[in-house]
Structure 1
Amino acid sequence: MPFLNGGRGPASEEPSDAGPQPSHPTPAAATDLVTARKQLLTRAEGSKRIDAPGLRRVLVDLHDFWLTTKAAEIGIKPGSGFAIVAVGGLGRQELLPHSDLDLILLHDEMDPSLVSEVADQIWYPLWDAHIKLDHSVRTVSQALQVAASDMSAALGLLEARHIAGDEDLSRLLIGGIRQQWRADIRSRFPGLVDQARDRWRRTGSIAHRAEPDLKFGRGGLRDVHMLDALAIAQLTDGMAALRPDSPGGGLRQAYTRLLDVRTELHRITGRPREQLRAQDADEIGAALRIGDRFELARTISDSARTISYAVDVGLRTSSNSLPRKGLSKLRRSPIRRPLDEGVVEHQGEVALARNAFPSKDPGLILRVAAASARTGLPMAASTLARLADFAPELREPWPADALSDLLVLLGSGEHMLGPIEALDRTGLWGRLIPEWGAVRDLPPRDAMHTWTVDRHLVETAANASALTTRVSRPDLLVLGALIHDLGKGRGADHSVVGAELANQVGNRIGLWPEDVATLSMMVRYHLLLPEMATRRDLDDPATVQSVVDTLGGSRVLLELLAALSEADSLATGPGVWGDWKASLIGELVRRCLRLMEGGELSTPDPLTPELIALAEAGGISVDLVNTDNPHTFAVTMIAPEQPGLLSRMAGVLSLRGLRLLSAVVQSHAGSAVNTFLVSPIFGDPGEVGLLRQQLIQAVEGGIDVIARLDAKERDTAPPAPPDGSVSPAVPALFAQAPPRVIWFDGYDDSSVILELRAGDRVGLLARVSAVLENHGAFITWAKVATLGGSVVDSFCIRLPGDGSSVRDQLERAILAVVPPPAPPREHDDKPGKSGVPIG
């Protein structure tokens, strides 16, 4: 350690008149210590073999006994002015078989010659017995000075423990170090974080490394020591609100498991190793009665993820808890900014509103997670703890708003990784998807795979969210990506087992029966296109016919499987997806599409007699009715047709805080008859009379709808990260997939159909319809669908002119008002050199 002298020569300090009377060194005692250590480590297998926790305890007792005996022998006793203090593993009472001894000889300004002779009588027997020793000789003030200037020294001294001698002297050191640490934590916190990040960059994440560094890797033992230091500074409790029944069993259990693995690594290799190598994994797994190397890898991954989550929470909590100085003490408490019903942003975290009652709102779990993914803000640990303790199970099938929130989460790309990991570590993800437990931390059997199975599924969903505009059902694409390998780890063909599980999941989350069938087919045949494209002759008509027959001639399923194949390959490992594979699958899909029959274009359902009567009556009317879902309402707006009417109607709904789920736009007898399915972001939809009054104002030009939508979007933009925050917020106004405008021939020579596939934003329908109307396009009808964070909107329009230039100009204008594509993904966790975490 940096605060240790590290040399073998005598030490010199300031003089003092008191102290023990030295005698000659007795190296034989240290030799006995070495002999006892060897006997402990070479006992036969079976009942006489001490388990890992027991071995650590015996080693601590053995070294404590030797040091106290040696101290008594040379006169280091209470009131002597000398004390022996342990740091490191012995200080924590976690001594491993081949750990160094980290010792401090503490003295009270004693005579330098006496200090030197006393030190020699402790250090020389240990050196001569070839015991690895890190040592120093300090006064209390000297130790405090070293700790004040050296971060590693300070962290080491925070673990100090009195062994022998003057206990008051040790207590003065330990208390002084802790008081100094608490007083200086505001200035030292950034350096502590930087030190941790540098360590993580060097060693990577334990959960995703082939041969992980158990001590220094992200999610390792050193991270827990850092949390303990922050707890001493009274910035965090270090537990991350993890319950004992959470995956990983809580922070202390995860720490103990990694410590046990490290203990056996020392014992089996006979060396002080920190990196677990593949050739040692089976023996360590057997020694700990965990199983083979795959089961050991699963245990290590589970523990490391628990610790990583605790570190994220601990650093964030500590950052928010740093003591204020000067005028900052007078600063008002942070504002709680609303994000969704019962969900607010507070101090850079997603938290529950004061009036939120988790016990009465089962959908709150997904609403919080969706808000976190949408804004890039982490979920507060206290919020997750409340949800874990009080939120009831969602009824089956899920209500539509819960499914919508799940789709928003899955459609957020890499921003879903943090929320899903937090839900999983606190037991909430398994509550939503019980089938997840079989694949959690499951190591792959194929060296081609980079991630554990559960992380692979989330990575695939993140990749799929960037491909949603290629398909007509982006919701089914991200859902299929999330569960396509859910059948692994169950002792049978994972595609067949997974298809049955997909039926369970689809029915539970509230999909329509035909969508459940499509989801199940996606899982059953997610390997079909890669296998047929790379292993069969594409020039053989039987190959293409076989694919078409297997998929039942479904174009929708074919395009879903094509996108899923790419997302799955990208999430498997480097080089799995390339130009060669992409070209083969692309050619197979093109040939299948040519063989399939073209589907009919969809049209709106005919108007009901009641709506026809209202349209023929003329005037402006607004009707709002409940649906089967208590959080969803149908709003029908009727008004005389005029340019810009659809934009104003949709804009009024958005300004009223109503989230647009779908819309059907039609006309009759000179009146527009538009029906919108909406869900209030907060509370209830309000009075229908007020909604009609605002519509009249908008129709008469009294409200600039687009300008107000712009202002509202600025007001609801993600907040800037708080000062000193660890994880800054990320932009929310990005689509994970590049937007697409697709043109189809209409039903007659004067009309065309424009389909928009893009990410959603505040007032998107109002903005797009305003573009259409400003460019002179007359909207005959429209069908609008919001699927999570994506939209698939179809407009049947008559253009003011024909030709590609008119379409190109209109398309550019539409793309200018939809969210731009997100920046390319960057991974913090770099995978190891092998697909199996430890072999």
Structure 2
Amino acid sequence: MNADPTRSESGSVGDLGAQALADSRKLLLRAGDLHGRQLRNALADRTEAWLAARARTLGIDEGSGFAIVAIGSLGRRELVGYSDLDLILVHDDRYPDRLNEVADGLWYPIWDAGISLDHSVRSVPEAMKVAREDVTAALGLLDARYIAGDSDLAALMISSVRNLWRAEARTRLPELIEAAQQRWHRTGDIAHRAEPDIKNGRGGLRDVQLLDALALANLTDGLGALDPGRADSPLREAYDDLLAVRTELHTIAGRARDQVRAQDADEIAAALGVGDRFDLARTISRAARITSYAVDAGLRTARNAVGRKGLSRLRRAPIRSPLDEGVVAHGGEVALARTAIPGSDPGLLLRVAAASARHRLPMNGPVLTRLAAYSAAIPEPWSPEHLSDLLVLLASGHDLIGPVEALDATGLWERLLPEWAGVRDLPPRDAVHTWTVDRHLLETVAYASALTTSVSRPDLLLLGALVHDIGKGRGGDHSEIGAELADGVAARFGLWPDDRRTLVELVRHHLLLPRVVIRRDPTDPETVASVADRLGGDASLAELLGALAEADSRATGPGVWGEWKASQIRGLVGRVVGYLGGSEVSEPVPLEDRVMELARGPEFQVRVEPGDGPNMTVVTMVAPDAPGTLSKMTGVLALAGLQAQSATINAHDGLAMDTFVVMPRFGGPPDRQILRQRLIAAFDGSLDVTMALRDRAARRSAPVRVADAAVPVSRPTAPPRVQWLGRTDATSDGIGPVLLELRAVDDEGLLARVTAELQKLGADVEWAKIATMGATAVDTFCVRLADHSDSARAQITAAVLAVC
């Protein structure tokens, strides 16, 4: 057996000076014989041996009134190549005249040897004071471990600090959570970063240590949080994987570093035997996902475990507040209603996720487990109702990321989108990208949600953002591969053939506009004609590509989307759309024969029929055609909790004959007789629909309280837009009707409020096409104006925007 070059003939490294310790550490790292836990143990053994020997030299022994205690990585025996030594010299105040001499004798040799040192000198009361005043210091002290000297004194300090933490952790939980959130804000998510900070990032080593601190106070589980009682729990494995990466990172970088940089990744992967840098990235991402999921669950458990004080103790137990059909808020989480049966309700999963994003509440862990075990598959092709619920989720901005991550952690997201497996944890190929491919797709969707009112097809924009890079990681041109995959996705989601083609072309050409503005003159008529030809003369596709280019760029990383790029792409889109003759103008939908038959019936009629989806209903209303009829009809529907997904508004023989496709949020189809009675009451004046809706909104304006936590309503980011599309069939006197298009985030009663404003300002609606695409309304009204002046239109525009 070869002699250990780090040891002298006379004994262990502990018998030598601090420089020998430093040299010993360097030789261990350069030799490359030890890896992982073996390397960490060897580094810790040599360091502790030297500290023990130095303690004896300084007279720090049993009963001396001095003790050396390690915290941080040495305290956990997780010392890696260039970790700081975090040491505390504990004293009992009996020998103040020796304190400086002992401290200097301990610290100066370490400094002189060039070893990074984080040190302090504390009495037991001083250690407790620091733990009480600084939550970060308190967490560090929980790792304290005796190294040398007075063991009773060290044990007293360690037990005192831990008992103090157990006593005060409940009151300090908000401070602890705030500190963690600030750290996450600085360092970001490990699971999705191209160059993650595996120690401090969200889902990193410090988060598991946070869980252990909460477990010490009996507020949650520690390393067994995902599978209590198992030494090989997923969380333990995730922690070990991240620790192994950090160990090799220090060795390869030759310095203290916690961010895995691209240039070191292949070497780290080789040392760990996990393949190349892309395999390493997936290993890190998988471990971080497990940790993030555990810390989210742990913090919720801790919050629920903290007792209420004062008058709050007298409050009733958390109530179950309905959020959607089969979905409730309970205890600050999204849960299932008692009557919900996942096995017989395929859309329940989507409604749970959409409610989580819309109300910014986490999904209950047992609910996710139940859905994973028993949720029924959504029949293919999806119904419009199921697609609508997915679009509501996608339109939630950055609030969609948490629910999707939770679904992905439990295998539920891949059931909805099997193609996701190919991009999960996939690192980017170039440094300009901040995120892994899967997170980049979600970030793109989030940015696209703010642009939904800038396009005529917000549903296709969101779906295109979700799958535009789905072809990456499969070899070949990811745009072409992605287009093929998008075709299958579109078929599964039940898109109409024309929409299916648009989604495919949106994925195929999602890089077209950015490339054109870099390589060619976007103002050149030949360039404009070439782009229009590439897009098959589809002005709507050009519009979608412009919005997707913006969302994609913003989601890529800082500085990718700027003023120059914005002006170039937006200008090119405008010129292409103009070259193609502008966007398509809506026209009235002819009345169906079955609706025309109602003209021969009573003056007020309501027909209720099943729709395409299990919870969709078609409501046809007939009433005298007069100013305000549409606002009364839509108000009656809103009061019944019915949100119009689409509608056709027409008149015939003095009657308004309007058909609405509605989706009740709760319960079964609406009662036809109740709708008819309310419609009649709205016309005879006994029911003021506008006032009733205003009172209803006032009652709902305050946040719903669930377990002392407010449940906010959705806060949309897409601004409402009103466009005047010009006259239709204008007469010779120039006073024909005009088209007004509204694009806005939909909510209950929006259509009723808008039509009431139009009536109030003398804009008579002759016909309308109403469409709600997920969470975005794209409504076109053909109105006859009493005043066609610019000021009159501006007044109408301002009034409509004010009620959105």
Q: Please tell me the TM-score bracket, short chain as reference.
A: 0.7 to 0.9
Question: Which residue of the partner structure matches residue 271 of structure 2?
Answer: 287
Query: Structure with the greater relative contact order (CA < 8 A, sep ≥ 6): 1 or 2?
Result: 1
Unpaired stretches in structure 2, ≥5 consecutive residues? 1-12
Secondary structure of the corresponding residue to residue 672 of structure 1:
strand
**Which of 329-338 and 470-479 deviates more?**
329-338
Distance in 2 of aligned mates of 1:127 and 1:792: 68
Q: Pick one of 29, 43, 51 that aligns with 1:41.
A: 29
Query: Do the aligned partners of residues 517 and 80 (structure 1) sit closer, same or farther apart at CA in structure 2, a change above 3 Å counting?
Result: same
Aligned residue for 1:665? Answer: 649
Please state how far the C-alpha of 1:702 moved relative to its aligned partner.
1.8
Identify which of 617, 623, 633 aligns with 2:607: 623
Q: Distance in 2 between matches of 1:122 and 1:801?
A: 89
Which residue number in structure 1 is paired with residue 776 of structure 2?
790
Q: SS where residue 625 of structure 1 aligns?
A: strand
Identify the residue that residue 769 of structure 1 maps to in structure 2: 755
- Tell me which residue corresponds to 1:744: 726
> Does the C-alpha gap of structure 1 residues 97 and 734 become closer, same or farther in structure 2, counting only changes over 3 Å?
closer
What SS is found at the alignment partner of 1:665?
A: strand
- State the match for 1:215 in structure 2: 199
Counterpart-to-counterpart distance in 2, 1:808 and 1:240: 62
- 1-structure distance, mates of 2:594, 2:380: 34
- The CA deviation at 1:307 is 3.9
In structure 2, the residue matched to 1:233 is 217
Quote the Cα distance in structure 2 between the aligned partners of 1:327 and 1:759. Answer: 39
CA distance in 1, matches of 2:20, 2:121: 25
Kindly provide the CA deviation profile for residues 568-604 of structure 1, in whole angstroms up to 9, marking residues without a partner as x: 2333344433444444434443443344356764444
CA distance in structure 1 between the partners assigned to 2:513 and 2:728 by the alignment: 32
Q: 2:240 is matched with which residue?
A: 256
Structure 1 contact 241–381 (Cα < 8 Å) conserved: no
Superposed, which structure 2 residues align to 1:155-170 within 5 Å?
155-161=139-145
What is the aligned-residue RMSD (CA, Å)? Answer: 4.0
For residue 75 of structure 1, report the CA deviation from its aligned partner: 12
Deviation per residue, 1:446-484 (Å, 9 max, x gap): 343343322332222222222222322111111112211
Partner of 2:484: 500
Counterparts in 2 of 1:422-461, with a 5 A limit? 422-461=406-445
Q: Corresponding residue for 2:765?
A: 779
1:288 shift after superposition: 1.7
In structure 1, the partner of 2:788 is: 802
**1:601-612 correspondence to structure 2 within 5 Å:** 601-612=585-596
Aligned to 1:14: none
Q: 1:689 aligns with which of 650, 673, 683?
A: 673
Q: After superposition, where does 1:270-349 map in structure 2 within 5 Å?
A: 270-277=254-261, 279-304=263-288, 306-308=290-292, 310-349=294-333
Pair 1:242–1:629, CA change in 2 (3 A): farther
CA contact (8 A) 1:28 1:125 kept: no
* In the alignment, structure 1 residue 557 sits paired with structure 2 residue 541: yes
What residue in structure 2 maps to residue 650 of structure 1? Answer: 634
Asked if the contact 2:606–2:676 (Cα under 8 Å) also holds between the matched residues in 1, the reply is yes
- Which residue of 2 is the match for residue 395 of structure 1? 379
Q: Give the letter aligned to residue 532 of structure 1.
A: V
User: Does residue 11 of structure 2 align to residue 27 of structure 1?
Assistant: no
| CA-CA distance at 1:503 after TM superposition | 0.7
Q: Deviations over 1:553-575 (max 9, x none)?
A: 22222221222223223333444
1:4 corresponding residue in structure 2 = none
Against the structure 1 CA distance between its residues 599 and 292, is the aligned structure 2 distance closer, same or farther, given a 3 Å change threshold?
A: closer
Q: Which residue of 1 aligns with 2:682?
A: 698
Q: TM-score, normalised by structure 2?
A: 0.86
C-alpha deviation, 1:633, in angstroms: 0.9
Asked if the contact 1:740–1:757 (Cα under 8 Å) also holds between the matched residues in 2, the reply is yes
Structure 2 vs 1, CA of residues 802 and 324 (structure 1 numbering), >3 Å: closer, same or farther? closer
**Which amino acid in structure 2 is aligned with residue 571 of structure 1?**
A
TM-score of the superposed pair, with normalisation by structure 1: 0.82
2:611–2:661 Cα contact (<8 Å) kept: no
Counterpart position of 2:5: none
Match of 1:154 in 2: 138
Cα distance in 1 for partners of 2:373, 2:727 equals 55
Equivalent residue number for residue 404 of structure 1: 388
Displacement, 1:29? Answer: 9.6
Deviates more, 1:75-84 or 1:281-290: 75-84
Aligned residue number for residue 7 of structure 1: none
Cα deviation 1:363-398 (Å, max 9, x = unaligned): 223212222332334444444444344434333222
SS in structure 1 opposite 2:31? coil
Partner Cα separation in structure 2 for residue 744 and residue 287 of structure 1: 67
Counterpart contact for 2:615–2:669, Cα < 8 Å: no
Q: Is the 8 A contact 1:240 1:314 kept in 2?
A: no
Contact 2:636 2:679 in 1 (8 A): yes
Amino acid at match of 1:755: E
The answer to whether the 8 A contact 2:664-2:670 is kept is: no
The alignment status of 1:414 with 2:402, answered yes or no, reads no
Q: Distance in 2 between matches of 1:642 and 1:280?
A: 73
Which residue, out of 574, 578, 585, partners 2:569? 585
SS at match of 1:571: helix
Deviation at 1:525, TM superposition (A): 1.1
User: Would the aligned equivalents of 2:192 and 2:436 in 1 still touch at CA under 8 Å?
Assistant: yes
- Name whichever of 60-69 and 351-360 sits farther off: 60-69
Instruction: Check the 8 A contact 2:208/2:223 in 1, yes or no.
Output: no
Question: Aligned equivalents of 1:721 and 1:96: distance in 2?
Answer: 47
How far apart are the structure 2 equivalents of 1:714 and 1:229? 44
Tell me which residue corresponds to 2:73.
Answer: 89
Instruction: Please give the secondary structure, in 2, of the residue aligned with 1:737.
Output: coil
Distance 2:256 2:535 in 1: 57
Other-structure match for 2:8: none
Q: Tell which deviates more after alignment, 524-533 or 124-133.
A: 124-133
Deviations, residues 691-745 of structure 1 (Å, cap 9, x unaligned): 22222222222222122222333444472788997xx866635451332233232
Selected match of 1:490 from 446, 469, 474 = 474
Question: Mean Cα displacement is larger for which, 586-595 or 506-515?
Answer: 586-595
C-alpha contact (below 8 Å) 1:411/1:736 kept by paired residues: no
2:622 alignment counterpart: 638
Aligned counterparts, 1:142-221, within 5 A: 143-161=127-145, 173-200=157-184, 203=187, 206=190, 212-221=196-205
SS of structure 1 residue aligned to 2:456: coil
Amino acid at match of 1:806: A
Q: Report how many residues are paired.
A: 784
Partner of 2:553: 569
Deviations 1:280-303 (A, max 9, x none): 333223212234445444544554
Are the aligned partners of 1:742 and 1:756 in contact in 2 as well (CA < 8 Å)?
no
Q: Deviations over 1:293-346 (max 9, x none)?
A: 454445445544554454455445434433333333333223332221122233
Q: Aligned pair in 2 of structure 1 residues 743, 135: CA closer, same or farther (>3 Å)?
A: closer
Q: Partner of 1:793: helix, strand, or coil?
A: strand
Structure 1 contact 242–425 (Cα < 8 Å) conserved: no
Q: Distance in 2 between matches of 1:393 and 1:57?
A: 49
Change (3 A) 1:119 1:672: closer
SS in 1 for 2:339: coil
Match for 1:56 among 40, 55, 60? Answer: 40
The CA deviation string for residues 75-115 of structure 1, in whole angstroms up to 9 with x for no partner, is 99999999775432233232223434545677889888999
C-alpha distance 692-426 of structure 1, shift in aligned 2 (>3 A): same
1:30 to partner: Cα distance: 8.1
Alpha-carbon shift at residue 544 of structure 1 (Å)? 3.4
Give 1:497 deviation, angstroms. Answer: 0.4
Q: Distance in 2 between matches of 1:537 and 1:104?
A: 66
The answer to whether the 8 A contact 2:619-2:662 is kept is yes
C-alpha distance in structure 1 between counterparts of 2:503 and 2:75, whole Å: 56
Name the residue aligned to 2:10: none
Alpha-carbon offset, residue 816 of structure 1: 1.6
**Unaligned ranges ≥5, structure 1:** 1-24, 819-839
